[in-house]
A and B are shown apart, each in its own frame.
Chain A
Amino acid sequence: MKPAPFDYYAPTSVEEALDKLTELGYSGKVLAGGQSLIPAMNFRMARPTALVDLNKVKELSYIKPTADGGLAIGTMTRDSVVEDDILVNERFPILVNTIKHIAHKQIRNRGTFGGAIAHADPAAQLPAAILLLDANLKVLSKSGERWVKATDFFIGPFMTVLEPEEMLAEVVLPPMAPRTGASYQQVSRQKGGYAQAAVISTVTLDGSDRVKEARVALFSVGESALLASKPNQVLAGQVPTAEAIEEVAAYVAKNECDPGTDIHGTEEYRRNLVHVLVRRALIDAVQQAKK
């Protein structure tokens, strides 16, 4: 379990990093926290010719409030820093709850917020979280910056719209609407382990307790993190009754996810989990919204 030979670069600025990525093209690979890439390299499943290590690029690590009440998170901010940040806890408690389910603290101390998103593991929490929270992603390259919506960012397992010379630099989370409740539900075989199915949801209620918006993100049950569309179609403008939620949960489990069978669980079981967890997440989120 030693990696194949590779070149290693450790730029100290974004500019230097982008130069290097442009120079390397398809041979280059960004190293962030390394919690996924390094094991993959040690197994020789990943064999990048060159690594561009961003750990010395200090300007990529920050959490800044945005004027509208949201947050901007630098790509190299460690998961545990996001988890423990006061502003994140105030403005996005669901994000804190989500991060707490990423592996164990030691791993969150190394793993980075942007790294997990750019890695696009279909079983990872953060891609689903940014779909749920409708984030905007700042992508940099030598030729400038572009902004990509989270919903446009992921194109398949471990695949994103990032070009080889580009890097994900910042994630901007728009503010949560008032009277929004959220819930995180997962079943994993071990604490800190991969989910067999997981659901994160937000429900925003209006003054008469009708649903303004219901968002349901799923992960570990398809080729990438998913944002289900049925919940909002059915529930928007409605009182979220148990029957309506059950209908939504059943529909999502049947039509809006694509879990497979593996050694840990059958497709049937994991669709059942989606059904149960979507139901539980929506009921919980509604209750939280009413608080």
Chain B
Amino acid sequence: MAEKYVGKSIKRNEDRRLLTGNSTFIDDINLPGMLHVAIKRSDFAHAKINKIDVEKAKALPGVVAVYTADDLGDYWRPGPLQVPPPSVIKGAIFNARPLECIAKNKIRFSGEPVAVVVAEDRYIAEDALDLIDLDVEILPYVGDLEKTVAPDAPLIHEDLESNLAADVVQEVGSWEKAVAEADVVVKKRLLVNRVAGAALENRGIVVNWDANLNLLTVWATTQGPIPMRNSIAKYLGLLENQVRLINPAIGGGFGPKIMSSQIDDVVIPWIAMKLKRPIKWVEDRRENFLGTTSERDQLHYAEIALKKDGTILGVKDVFYHNTGAYNPYGMTVPLNTQAHTVSNYRVPNFLTEIKMVFTNQMVVTPVRGAGRPQGVFVMERLLDAAAEELGMDKAEIRRINLLQPEDFPLRSGIIGQDFVEGVLDSGNYPYALEQTLEKIEYEKFKKEIQPKARAEGKYKGIGIAMFTEGTAVGPYEGCKVMVGVTGKVSVVTAYSNQGQGHYTTFAQIAADNLGVKVTDVDVVTGDSGQWSWGVGAFASRGITLVGTAIHNASLKVREKALNLASKLLETPVDELEMEDSVVRVADIPEKFISLGDLAMRSNPTRGTVEPGMEPGLEAASYYGPPHGATGFGSLGMIVEVDPETGKINIERIVITDDCGQPVNPMVVDGQIHGGLQMGIGEAFYENLVYDDYGQLVTASFMDYLFPQATDMPDKFEIIHSQTKSPLNPLGIKGVGEAGAIAPPACMMQAFEDALGLKDMFITESSINPSKLYHYVQKAKGA
């Protein structure tokens, strides 16, 4: 029996290429005659545009063209809305205000594009930016999540009655009933801060228009190549196959690269066609902070109703969600918050309300976690507060309320980001909790380690938090699998890859079904010239959706190969085996035909074929789940805090994660490492801060602290629990966001536990040594 790859931590196919510098990233693409773009961005957060004077910029030697919204004429239009709101939620309000690719008449956030310079090189283009004169009437800035919907707030979109972008109420059971039956109700006001999806590589686009071929080639760092290809085609009046969108190698995505209908994909292709020259725009880091979407930023008024014994009766959560100046991404993020608030626990009554508000800030679209960390933060903080109130242990209050294995599949009653009622497909939450508690030695820590440390003057604490990760939502993904004449296998999908390990994990699935070495499987991602259907990399859906499609397509190819071999070898299919890149007769090893020869024979070039014959050892397949697959887990942390300085040290991190069947556990570990680092970043380092005038004051890595390898603990202790998803044949679930979800909730609990101050309760998801110091001072009554 040949080696099976699925479930094994094999080394990655792509690493040799990446580590030896032989991958092509967006900025490596240089075409003859290529021009360079720099974007003039507004320094004002809210202003009426009187005049944009670009004459001096145009006159600078080396500048080819300068465009403002007015120069775009009829081509300028807002939108489209990238994600529509679900229509199934009764009473939901959604005021759609999609992005404007370039500001016309009005500026709504600092960093919004107002002009585009095209020049012979990027240096000249940036010099020209300095020469553009922006004459504006400054309007009052609105940034506060509550004040922006006050009656007297200045309007960001004047055609609306207020800055309310959406209002969505979802209720399961009756919160009123829960309160009536409760022994205690605990209320908290909780803040979740805004973070960047800071990828190693920023965004970029290169466009080349070939008028002879009628072909627009676009290289872009997008996470959604097919939707972007389609929107570019529609904008420019081209057929889809007249636009070839290629993902080069991409250095991380983390969400913001899913956004399209921005200046890069709307205006730059238009300019390339107009000027008939290739054009490159690669965002720099400052621009990424100012011009690329970000996420979190919610304010929650949350309540939990319980019985004296700690049993949850209900949860109520009314929250403000900052969508920034526009809401092109619909309600994905706050719906995800609603779907991930109570999803670990038996909560019979749950009332949740989104108040999505416009502000004069960068637009909010998903960043790894995408609404889930907010829901988890709120629920876990409520449980911590309730445990304090009831004098219960933090692990125990979770234990007694967890959903039990027999509760699945569970209809949640909450409409999620995929516009259908959530179904938690499978789970074993008690196992996940106990695994982490055991590994981190929770009881021993509380009884021995913590008191001993305290006696030595050291403040050590432990935190434990649960999370779910709704993954693998629809609508669909697809692929094409083909055996080539060399016997090597080609897997082609339009899914985009930003470093997730797809060239290995996708290959593992195909290799198992086709009996070839994993290194003989070539995976192509994100090239609409090779495969033209798909949606995009978001919601931790790649391995489940594309992986399942590859599984199904490769089984079809297997069947084709076996049928053809059966004829050629004159042996029934059930007596054949397929391994080592050949099909052989099981009992007669010397009687075989190679996959390469079969591929050759599958495409006859003379003679006649049978009716209905399909050439090639090739098959396509699509997979769209009825609803998502539920990843879940628990996170434990031990920290030490210096109460005098607020300095912290993370001593241990234990995570139990369940993503069903891991295709490559090493790759899963990598996803969890990165996720944890982002989650720790959110909790203790990263923070996008706007000043009182709406200027982003954290527009560089000098001010926006991104956690570095040297800030991380020596190791992450990872336990894989494997509750297979019943939704797909391999039992897989996503994992891309798992690590990023629970760290803020877990860390705040651990800090409080370390300091052991009775009235200290951290109400925000992001703190720093200074804030920690002030929490301590406040709790001590200083």
Contact = CB atoms under 8 A, between A and B. Distances in A.
Q: Which 7 A-B pairs have the closest CB atoms?
A: A265-B770, A269-B770, A1-B284, A191-B710, A2-B123, A276-B644, A2-B126
B652 interface: no
Given A1-B284, A192-B708, A187 B698 contact: no
B646 A190 contact: no
A2 B685 contact: no
A56 interface: no
A191 B711 contact: yes
A264 B771 CA distance: 9
Contact of A43 (B286, B645, B685, B707): B286
Contacts of A272: 644-645, 773
Given A187-B646, A191-B708, 4 more contacts: A44-B126, A189-B769, A264-B768, A269-B770
Interface in A255-291: 263-266, 268-270, 272-273, 276-277
Nearest to B284: A1
Interface in B50-81: none
Interface in B655-708: 685, 687, 689, 697-698, 700, 702-703, 705, 707-708
B774 interface: yes
A196 interface: yes
A273 B645 CA distance: 6
Interface residues of B, number: 31
Contacts of B601: none
Given A5-B127, A263-B698, A276-B644, A190 B769 contact: no
Given A5-B127, A263-B687, A272-B773, A190 B711 contact: yes
Contact of B705 (A44, A189, A270): A189
Interface of B: 122-123, 126-127, 130, 284-287, 644-647, 685, 687, 689, 697-698, 700, 702-703, 705, 707-708, 710-711, 768-770, 773-774
Contacts of A273: 645
A190 B774 contact: no
Contacts of B705: 189-190, 193, 264
B654 to A, nearest CB: 23
Contacts of B711: 190-191
Contacts of B284: 1
Given A1-B284, A1-B286, A4-B127, A265 B708 contact: no
Contacts of B126: 1-2, 44
A91 B416 CA distance: 66
28 contacts: A1-B285, A5-B123, A5-B127, A43-B286, A44-B126, A104-B710, A187-B645, A187-B769, A190-B705, A190-B707, A190-B708, A190-B710, A190-B711, A191-B708, A191-B710, A191-B711, A192-B710, A193-B705, A264-B705, A264-B770, A266-B774, A268-B774, A269-B770, A272-B645, A272-B773, A273-B645, A276-B645, A277-B645
Contact of B646 (A2, A4, A269): A269
A291 B518 CA distance: 62
Interface in A1-54: 1-5, 43-44
A263 B194 CA distance: 14
B647 A187 contact: yes
A269 B776 CA distance: 11
Interface string A88-110: 00000000000000001000000
Contacts of A190: 685, 705, 707-708, 710-711
Nearest to B700: A43
Interface in A160-198: 187, 189-194, 196
A189 B122 contact: no
A266 B707 CA distance: 21
Nearest to B287: A1
Contacts of B700: 43
B286 A2 contact: no
A258 B126 CA distance: 37
Contacts of A277: 645
